[in-house]
Homo-oligomer: A and B are copies of this chain.
Amino acid sequence: MIKIGILGYGNLGRGTEAAIKKNPDLALTAVYTRRNPEALTINTPGVPVKSAEALEGGKEDIDVLIICGGSATDLPQMTPKYAALYNVIDSFDTHANIPQHFANVDAAAKAAGKVGIISCGWDPGMFSINRLYSLSVLPDGEAYTFWGKGVSQGHSDAVRRIDGVKDCRQYTIPVPAALESVRSGKNPTLTTREKHTRECFVVAEDGADLARIESEIKTMPNYFSDYDTTVHFISAEEMARDHSGLPHGGSVIYGGTTSDGTKHVIEYSLKLDSNPEFTGSVLAAFARAAVRLNQEGRSGAMSVFDIAPAYLSPKTAEELRAHYL
């Protein structure tokens, strides 16, 4: 049994906990929290909740720590810190800062003889893997990534910060015409606006100026101003009834050419009922790989690019070749 600790018990921590239950060779050993552990009840009976401080000194009896924190401020600190003590894995997703994060984790993990896998989930993660396979097989081609239909938590949070907004759920939606054009192998040039639309469901405070809220959303730089956005004002009851889930998904579509005029289209798509449970499932599979690679004497930072697919499965190489190749 591989002993797993989870650090952080938000949506992603709970999603990872659910994923571990589906893997008979993985055991959740403890959940670590920076909050008061006594105030936290988790979904796995009998598993202790401990203070994050218990992780200090590297004395916890775990094979790998899955760090379920945020990419903005948590992971840049936590992953290098704990890579000096345990095998670790995170879902760091600030693309621009990946090289620095990798370097920090690599230095800590190498010095400690541990493995640290960063940026594991679906994007970065499964989508990245598919971009890499496609561009390696068909170097004369282009990758297109579409997200959705699904809830963007970052965009939902941005709307919630607007004066007069009580709650928001923002859906990112690929433009059907763009999808069709890419799937046809035309390799079109597409603007941001041509690829995705955004749809916001907003619960406003009583008496709030709805026209102003809508205008503030639609003109918000970076988040909305480059997109066609639709805003719907709904009641708190409608929000709870119709928008409580965190579905997501998307597609990586790659159009490539071999000989003159000979085209190939590769599409990898995900339809996820729960973004955090799927991300947690990817983390659980790669956590298994981290432990095995470390048992083979490997150390340092790795990404999903550096790990052979066989390491993700509890099945033997013989079983995999006989039944899945």
Contacts and interface: CB of A to CB of B under 8 A. Distances in A.
Contacts of A114: none
B258 A264 contact: no
A218 to B, nearest CB: 31
Given A22-B258, A126-B137, A258-B19, A132 B313 contact: yes
Given A270-B266, A309-B305, A321-B303, A18 B259 contact: yes
Interface in A243-290: 256-259, 261-274, 277-278, 280-282, 284-285, 288
Chain A interface mostly: helix
Contacts of A264: 270-274, 277-278, 281
Given A128-B325, A131-B324, 16 more contacts: A23-B139, A102-B321, A128-B324, A129-B309, A132-B324, A133-B309, A136-B312, A259-B277, A261-B273, A262-B277, A263-B273, A265-B271, A267-B269, A267-B271, A304-B325, A305-B321
A129 to B, nearest CB: 6
A89 B297 CA distance: 28
Interface residues of A, number: 70
Interface string A127-164: 01111110111111000000000000000000000000
A95 B325 contact: yes
This chain: copies in complex: 2
Contacts of A102: 321
18 contacts: A102-B321, A126-B133, A129-B309, A132-B309, A132-B320, A133-B309, A136-B309, A136-B313, A138-B278, A256-B281, A258-B278, A258-B281, A259-B274, A265-B270, A267-B271, A303-B320, A305-B308, A305-B324
A133 B129 contact: yes
A119 B322 CA distance: 12
A13 to B, nearest CB: 14
B133 A312 contact: yes
A42 interface: no
A185 interface: yes
Nearest to A14: B259
A15 interface: yes
A318 interface: yes
B262 A135 contact: no
A70 interface: no
A98 interface: yes
Nearest to A261: B273
A220 interface: no
A128 B263 CA distance: 22
A317 interface: yes
A307 interface: yes
Interface string A92-131: 0001001100100000000000000001000010101111
Contacts of A268: 130, 266-268
A4 to B, nearest CB: 15
Contacts of A304: 309, 325
Given A132-B320, A264-B270, A320-B305, A137 B95 contact: no
